[in-house]
Structure 1
Amino acid sequence: MAGDAIRRTRFAPSPTGLLHLGHAYAALIAAQEASPGQFLLRIEDIDRDRCKPEYEAAIYDDLLWLGLDWQHPVMRQTDRMDAYQDALTQLAPLCYPCSCRRGDIRAALSAPQEGALPAGPDGLIYPGTCRHRPMDETGPDDVIRLDTARAFDALGIENLSFRDECILPDQDHILSRDEFLDGIGDVILSRRGMGTSYHLAVVIDDAEQGITHITRGKDLFDSTWIHVLLQKLLKLPTPIYHHHRLIRDDSGKRLAKRDDARALRHYRDDGTTPAQIRQMLNL
């Protein structure tokens, strides 16, 4: 990436609801950080049960209202399943099928201990119940997990690192193998009924689009370790990251799509202007 003269950022929403103020901030920051390069839009629609065409149409409408423009055609993840399958095939020697459900994992983790169950950016830290299973045993009800210990062994490294422009911009962030195993564990690369996962798809798509700078909220900081590991395994470049602040409500709670009162559509209907939205977001 160091030799790439064109700075590329992206905004990658999922069409599972209306965009809210937090999305507006993320999109505007991505566009701002791209200047004078390229700002791209990607529709992350692998969750077919929750994604709706009307929400995708609303994304385009709201972003245009904010004054944003992007390159066409827009990348949609449901058009890229072959690329995700190719990556899974490449990673297969380091993976295993897993039939455990959330209840099974909770039971396995709670049996020998008391207190809060260990969790990371991919959910509860998987205890490795199915780690012995070979990939040729994969069934339709299995997820595919990465054997993280074998992944580190295959790379022959003890640490991961990446640079963040927003958080400690003058030094690399570093995570050790042991910290990854203990705090993240064996992540899911393909979920039931999806054929991929957020982590795998986002890494493949960012590389395909030539994204040089990834802007997103601080809540995804820990997920970046998963993405850096996958980038190394798949021999893909690691972009520079920019984990920005989150937009919160008056009580300090992070906005979510279920907070419908904060939807951009409602502000628009009430006569709020794009300039006023920027003022509300301190942009």
Structure 2
Amino acid sequence: MPGFVTRFAPSPTGPLHLGHAYSAMLAHDMARAAGGRFLLRMEDTDLERCRPEWEAAIVEDLRWLGLDWDGPIHRQSPHIEAYNARLEPLAEGGLVYPCSCTRGDIRAALAAPQEGVVHAVYPGTCRGRSMESRQPGDALRLDLARALTHLADADLSFLETGPAHEGCHRIDPDRARREIGDVVLSRKGENFVAYFLASAFDDADQGITHVIRGEDLFDFTPVQVILQHLFGLPTPVYHHHRLIRDEAGRRLAKRDDARAIAKYRAEGATPADIRRMVGL
């Protein structure tokens, strides 16, 4: 079994742009240089926005770039119920609770400034509700304080090899309570499961040893590490790479059709041109 297994995991909600191409090519190159495996995963749990035609376009662009992957494409959407079923041990352990708060409710509760809070986190309005009180449409939130108490003896750390955050990072429980809070893991009746939960399950199930992704996702990592420990999953090595930005310094997004790979292809660019554009 190769010791290096990574993946490229786009959401098929729009065209592949230069930033995606850089991430995919970097992960592919690192895997091949290590004699390892490169997998392709479609993170298509957003059932309203994901489209088969976007997936087909992404696959076409990746093949045009000269990338090949090991094994079939893994799609998350057929597994949403299975992801949610795996939350049962947390429910039995009292580590999750139902939440009926709307986004407006949360904004209102957070209207007063909170000293020491770097990111707006859920104020805990529904914390303390029992699972028996859960209604259709309720979200399921992680009770982070209880989870961290449950993991008091665990080594909550991860190794980062990306240039901006290189080193071993230990998760400070107090900071996690302030900056992460009780995140939503799923929502009943809406076939919704959180990105960082489905990704954590899939990384373990697919034997991912190295996660290579943009540095804009670095802040998700502590949440995933906590979930990995709660479910007894291994923690991979993380590599958060630089972002490809536009002339104004903004990171590229799906709306940046001007930088879509398909557009460069139509204008006569070659895969080597794309590599030069992103600094590979």
Sort the TM-score into its range (normalised by shorter chain): over 0.9
Contact 2:46/2:192, CA 8 A, preserved across alignment: no
Opposite residue 134 of structure 1, the aligned amino acid is: S
Q: Which residue of 2 aligns with 1:101?
A: 102
CA displacement at 1:119 relative to structure 2? 5.9
Kindly report which structure 2 residues correspond to 1:1-283, keeping only aligned pairs within 5 A, or say none: 5-35=2-32, 36-92=35-91, 93-110=94-111, 112-113=112-113, 118=117, 120=119, 124-157=120-153, 160-167=156-163, 171-191=167-187, 193-283=190-280
Deviation at 1:132, TM superposition (A): 1.3
Would the alpha carbon gap of residues 282 and 170 (structure 1) be closer, same or farther in structure 2, given more than 3 Å must change? closer
Supply the AA of the counterpart residue of 1:56.
E
RMSD (Å), alpha carbons: 1.9
Q: For residues 63-88 of structure 1, what are the alpha-carbon distances to aligned partners after superposition, in whole Å with 9 as ceiling and x for unaligned?
A: 00000011232110012124302321
- Structure 1 residue ranges without an equivalent (≥5): none
Alpha-carbon offset, residue 130 of structure 1 = 0.1
Deviation at 1:101, TM superposition (A): 1.1
Looking at structure 1, the residues matched to 171 and 209 of structure 2 have their Cα atoms a distance apart, in angstroms, of: 21
- Would the aligned equivalents of 1:163 and 1:171 in 2 still touch at CA under 8 Å? yes
Q: Is the CA contact (8 Å cut-off) linking 1:152 and 1:158 kept in structure 2?
A: no
Per-residue CA distance 1:23-57 (angstroms, 9 max, x = gap)? 00000011112121000000000000000110010
TM-score when normalising by structure 1: 0.92
Tell me the CA shift for residue 156 of structure 1. 1.9
* Residue type at the aligned position of 2:47: R
Q: CA offset at residue 159 of structure 1?
A: 6.5
Mean Cα deviation higher: 16-25 or 183-192: 183-192
Aligned partner of residue 222 in structure 1, secondary structure: helix
SS in structure 2 at match of 1:96: strand
Q: Residues 201 and 12 (structure 1 numbering): CA distance in 2 closer, same or farther, change over 3 Å? A: same
Distance in 1 separating the partners of 2:4 and 2:198? 21
Q: Distance in 2 between matches of 1:107 and 1:126?
A: 11
The separation in 2 between residues aligned to 1:76 and 1:26, in whole angstroms, is: 19
Aligned amino acid, residue 142 of structure 1: D
1:62 corresponds to which letter in structure 2? D
| 1:237-258, Cα deviation, whole Å (9 max, x unpaired) | 0000000000000110100001
- The one-letter code matched in structure 2 to 1:15 is P
Once the two structures are TM-superposed, the CA of residue 278 in structure 1 deviates from its matched residue by 0.1
Change (3 A) 1:158 1:107: farther
How far apart are residue 137 of structure 1 and its match? 1.4
| Letter in structure 1 aligned against 2:167 | Q
Maintained 8 Å contact 2:40/2:73: yes
Q: Distance in 1 between matches of 2:242 and 2:67?
A: 20
Q: Which runs of 5+ in 2 are unaligned?
A: none
User: How big is the shift at 1:91?
Assistant: 1.6
Note if contact 2:98-2:129 (Cα within 8 Å) is conserved in structure 1.
Answer: yes
Pairwise CA distance, 1:141:
1.6
Does the CA-based 8 Å contact 2:80-2:191 persist in structure 1? no
State the identity %. 55
Separation in structure 2 between the aligned mates of residue 47 and residue 262 of structure 1, nearest angstrom: 23
For 2:199, what is the secondary structure of its paired residue? helix
Query: Following TM superposition, by how much is the alpha carbon of 1:260 offset from its aligned partner in structure 2, in angstroms?
Result: 0.9
Distance 1:114 1:224 in 2: 24
Aligned partners of 2:98 and 2:131 also within 8 Å: yes
CA contact (8 A) 2:23 2:214 kept: yes
